[in-house]
Amino acid sequence: MLTRRLAIQSGLATIAMPAVLRAQTLSGQITLMSYAGIFQDNYTKTVIEPFQQKHPGVKVNFVPGGSSAQMVGSVRAQKADPQTDVVIMDVTTSSIGNLEGLFEKLTPAEFPVLNELLPEARAAGGEFGPAVTFDHLVIVQDAALNPQLTKLADVWRPDLKGHIALAAPPNIQGLALTAMTEKMEGGDYRKSIDAAMKKLKELAPGVNTFDPNPDGYSLILNGVAKVATGWNARAQLYSDQTNGKINVLLPPEGSVFQVNTINLTAGSKNRAAAAAFVAHALSQDAQKAFTERMFYAPSNAKAQIDAKALARTAASPENLARMIPVDWNEVLKVRDQWNNRWRREVIAAAR
């Protein structure tokens, strides 16, 4: 007998059937391009493997793409015959890809998960791929350093002369540090960076390297530097992995978000599976798993993150209050100008 409950259930099943069938019939291979090293290792464990369990017919190939600029370069070079389906990269470069038609626009009709994202996450990509992780610039310091740095202004301490590793522009860390220093000096990067340049010029003679290789965390662990700029997520993980040999400081003067967006390549050869992966990467489960593993702040507002893990990201209310709102699309317009000022004023003062 057809009861009302049965009728509703049948109706819902009918509506859901295409999606269920699609999920069951997804197959083939997709190529995901993003950062190598610990990002790849942890993203594979927390996001890719669960996706493959949900869709046994789909194989996700992770291709390390180097820096974000190198990734957009690869996608640009493959425009006529795309070899990658999904790319996770920094928003400053993904916006270049969006303008060049390398990535697809995503609609809430096809990706209902977009409605679960933070407004900042949606805004980051515009109509294109949204933010998948948030990170922020931190000061990384040798745990043996005494006294420990407690604020950004401490980087100028005389005892640190010759032990500082900074990543100068055009590296995005250098751009972020410029905005942070301007704020520390009471200015606003949108109006001028004169105060930041003056202050950074004072720091320059004490800087060991403006191009940390392989990175600031390693230089501290190898004893080459005592203080460096870094990204929170990686710094937190390195701190854990080395049993606290490095400490991570979110300066009370403020920090800057770095946004990674997830992008669906225009002309993807296995679009259905690639779109399913994008939806999965933005889902509550994937966001929770990755945040708790690697301390990137989630972009899905509904993800229920463990309180301890959340406190180590910029998503906790206390940390969130310290963030300086930076519009990376605006910074892109002045990037070359900042880069030239660093070379002519800051780095020149270090020679």
Partner 1 sequence: MTVSRRLPLLLIPATLFLLVIYVWPSLGLFRNAFNEVGPTGAMVEAWSLATWRATFHDSFTFELTLNSLWLSSVSTLIALCMAYPVSLFLFRTDSRFRGLLAVVAIMPMLVSGVVRVFGWLAILGDRGLVNTTLQSLGLISTPLKLVFNWTGVTIGLAESIMPYMILALLAGFGRLDRTLEEAARSLGASPFRTFRRVTLPLSLPAIALAAGLGFVLSMSAYITPKLLGGGRVFVLATEIFEQATTNTNWPVAAVLAIYTLVLLLALLVVSNLVARRLQR
Q: By the criterion CB under 8 A, which residues form the site for partner 1?
A: 66-67, 69-70, 72-73, 76, 92-93, 95-96, 99-100, 162, 167-168, 170-171, 208-211, 213, 223-224, 329, 332-333, 335-336, 339-340, 343-344, 347, 350-351
**Residue placing its CB nearer to partner 1 in the complex, 72 or 276:** 72
CB of 140 to partner 1, least distance (A): 17
Q: Residue 268 burial by CB count (10 A; 0-12/13-18/19+): exposed, middle or buried? A: buried
Token code pair at residue 308: 């301890």
**Residue placing its CB nearer to partner 1 in the complex, 56 or 162:** 162
CB of 72 to partner 1, least distance (A): 6
- Compute CA distances 108 → 81, 117, 122, 147, whole Å: 27, 11, 11, 50
Contacts with 333 (C-beta within 8 Å, 6 or more apart), sequence order: none
CB of 225 to partner 1, least distance (A): 10
**Residue placing its CB nearer to partner 1 in the complex, 23 or 96:** 96
β-sheet bridge partners, residue 86: 32, 264
Q: Do the Cβ atoms of 71 and 65 come closer than 8 Å? A: yes
Q: Which residue has the tokens 């790849």?
A: 40
CB of 281 to partner 1, least distance (A): 24
Q: Do the Cβ atoms of 330 and 263 come closer than 8 Å? A: no
**Residue placing its CB nearer to partner 1 in the complex, 296 or 338:** 338
d(CA 336, CA 77): 23
**Residue placing its CB nearer to partner 1 in the complex, 207 or 286:** 207
CB of 329 to partner 1, least distance (A): 6
CB of 143 to partner 1, least distance (A): 18
**Residue placing its CB nearer to partner 1 in the complex, 170 or 187:** 170
**Residue placing its CB nearer to partner 1 in the complex, 100 or 202:** 100
Q: Do the Cβ atoms of 116 and 301 come closer than 8 Å? A: yes
d(CA 277, CA 30): 9
CB of 122 to partner 1, least distance (A): 19
**How many CB atoms sit inside 10 A of residue 193's CB?**
23
**Residue placing its CB nearer to partner 1 in the complex, 175 or 248:** 175
CB of 337 to partner 1, least distance (A): 11
* β pairing state of 255-264 and 323-324: parallel
CB of 93 to partner 1, least distance (A): 6
**Residue placing its CB nearer to partner 1 in the complex, 108 or 162:** 162
3-state secondary structure of 258: strand
For residues 219-247, one letter each, b for 16 or more C-beta atoms within 10 angstroms of the residue's C-beta and e for the rest, the string is bbbeebbbbbbbbbbbbbbbbeeeeeebb
Q: Do the Cβ atoms of 232 and 319 come closer than 8 Å? A: no
Token code pair at residue 75: 């996608």
